[in-house]
Structure 1
């Protein structure tokens, strides 16, 4: 534990860029840090890289920006600079425009170090929780500030441990980010002991590893909103659900194999998530599903609609090959929905004895358990005593070191 710094500087580049999209787990972490830092007695600042350079927000600006990010305040129309930006969504253009309006300072890339020196106090603590803007320019500019400290949140090192599951070209980019984190960070914040151990093992090949701490993520699942579900959902009768991007490491192929074997008498399976990468065989199987298939691909739901499906399911299925934390599984247990997941260290650490663990290659055991659960009532299966990690506990640890 350390003495509190005179100010904290949170990098908010990721949430500005992703405004208007469904928030991912990493997005939610950055938003949780934004909310926590605004509420903390230590003054908070925000830094973001935009297509035109960097912007700096003070605590008042961050508070106003949070209202726009969580939908409490509507954004103004995009300014001319944002309208000229290519590739961004309208929501991102509006959010970046308002962020510029709320900022206390702006600069071109070459002016970053000077802007930070003028505005920030000696001993500021910089936090990067989303891996965006984790650049040499930013890290060196912060490091040049007197007595500054740098903390980087490492969500996982899956791209380095399992490169076969990644999109082309992304592994090298991720590795460079982790190399910079090792070289510049004073502290690594990890969501699990498993993540910290894996990060240390990877970084040890490159040189001395910074201090690391473990702070389990808090989880506050959105309230279920059945009224937001489209027609035909939830399905009649028992159904199972899996939530996450349809990518190779999530192992949707195992579930499709099981449902092929179960045939027309199978319970319904809802595959909820957008399509990812390197998964053409699974995409082809999903495209071939007929109207009477017992498997349904669902995407584009609101958070409330998705939580309504999770809450009503007979089980959440998580046959992943690798996970950093597994937030959907935690949210399912919070809603009382039982979880069947791969037998991996991360799940065991977070879910403890409240989930059913099956090896991700043992198809027969998955099938037998799914059949068994489908024959039971939803109330019989319900999980009533899961104690999820809290954000209060997370920040009690994380902010005592930053």
Structure 2
């Protein structure tokens, strides 16, 4: 007779998802949501959120209710208490109001240890996937519960490429990585590349590192929005920031005959020259933002290809999602894409403008002649990811 081991009580940090309520989900947000969605099906789940006014603890029912609100964004009105902190996104205020209504308990920061002790068993398993809220206060409270701590590191880009980061984010990330390596029992790595980079940045003994590729389900597509583009068009998907290297595409597009470029993403930081060029409305280049996922993926599916000249990526979901849809991919030659996608994309060094130009022209011609497409690709699944992760945490 098979002996089954009961699922541990788990505490999932949901601070990042709540802090970004009302904004389009980033890749890291999607990972935190995938953990919420999956762990609701595996034993006793609790959620911890650091809000503007202290900590909020959600039980299983509260975690399920939060999941539904994230999907439908129907948070309800903000209360007066949520307005005490100025400068917060209005939807975040609504979300924090909602959490205070549904929470199992809440407390001021100084009482976090007592709150966890009231509700969580010794040896609780804590998971942090959002690079948020892994503070000394939280770690101290977890140590008192003899918690097993797992932290996901998505990348080490702030240390590898500081020139592409806001200067004020580099030191906090270094401290976060140091706390993770000092206190975590398990480090969850989305790739071999990330695991190797952690070892390079943190000398000495490290916690166990487990490599589990992130799930990338085949995207659901709806009706593509209409626009002034016609004939072959290409999609560039991602936040408009220096690391994503939109400047390369703006430089070469006047020499791409007839084809249109759809830049899909919100504007980021310190990219003033690119913003200025986009504001000038260059011919056959269209900036789109805040599209629902089904419309975005419908646009991608109808395109001649995804263009992804990013200088650095921790995982890089857009090329994986495009390949899952059978859309050709042209991307910078980065190790993470070789690891996950193999020979599916066309690789071109981001410094080789002529190669990018000629390859894009060839991809446009292939779509015109009906020869566009790529070999079959089965993306990594969340089932595979959690089969690996949940044996450890």
TM band (smaller chain):
over 0.9
SS at match of 2:127: strand
What SS does the aligned partner of 1:27 have? helix
Aligned to 2:109: 109
Shift of 1:221: 5.1
Tell me how far apart the structure 1 counterparts of residues 70 and 254 of structure 2 sit (CA, whole Å): 42
Preserved CA contact (<8 Å) 2:305 2:327? yes
CA contact (8 A) 2:241 2:268 kept: yes
Matches within 5 A, 1:1-400: 6-40=8-42, 42-71=43-72, 74-146=74-146, 148-204=147-203, 207-220=204-217, 222-226=219-223, 229=225, 231-232=226-227, 235-262=229-256, 265-290=257-282, 293-377=283-367, 379-383=370-374, 385-400=376-391
CA contact (8 A) 1:143 1:150 kept: no
CA deviation after TM superposition for structure 1 residue 87, in Å: 2.0
- Does the 8 A contact of 1:5 with 1:125 survive in 2? no
Whole-Å separation in 2 of the counterparts to 1:296 and 1:76: 34
My pick for the range that moved more, 267-276 or 30-39, is 267-276
Asked if the contact 2:195–2:209 (Cα under 8 Å) also holds between the matched residues in 1, the reply is yes
| Superposed CA offset, 1:24-62 (max 9, x none) | 11001000000111011x211000001111011111111
Is the contact made by 1:6 and 1:122 (CA closer than 8 Å) also made in structure 2? no
Where structure 2 has 5 or more consecutive residues not aligned to the other structure, the ranges are none
- Report the Cα offset of residue 316 of structure 1: 0.3
Q: CA deviation at 1:270?
A: 1.1
Q: Tell me the SS of whatever aligns to 2:355.
A: helix
Distance 2:263 2:150 in 1: 36
CA distance in 2, matches of 1:37, 1:311: 31
Query: Runs of 5+ in structure 1 lacking a partner?
Result: none
Give me the whole-angstrom Cα distance separating, in 1, the residues matched to 2:372 and 2:91: 41
Give the Cα–Cα distance (whole angstroms) in 1 for the partners of residues 151 and 337 of structure 2.
23
> Residue 167 of structure 2: SS of its match in structure 1?
coil
1: CA distance between counterparts of 2:152 and 2:6?
A: 18
- The alignment of Structure 1 onto Structure 2 pairs a total of residues equal to 389
* Cα-Cα RMSD: 1.8
Deviation, 1:377, is 2.4
Q: Deviations over 1:101-153 (max 9, x none)?
A: 1111111100001111121111111000001111111112112213x111111
1:285–1:74 distance in 2 versus 1, CA, 3 Å: closer
Deviation of 1:19 after TM superposition, in Å, equals 1.1
Cα displacement (A) at 1:335: 1.5
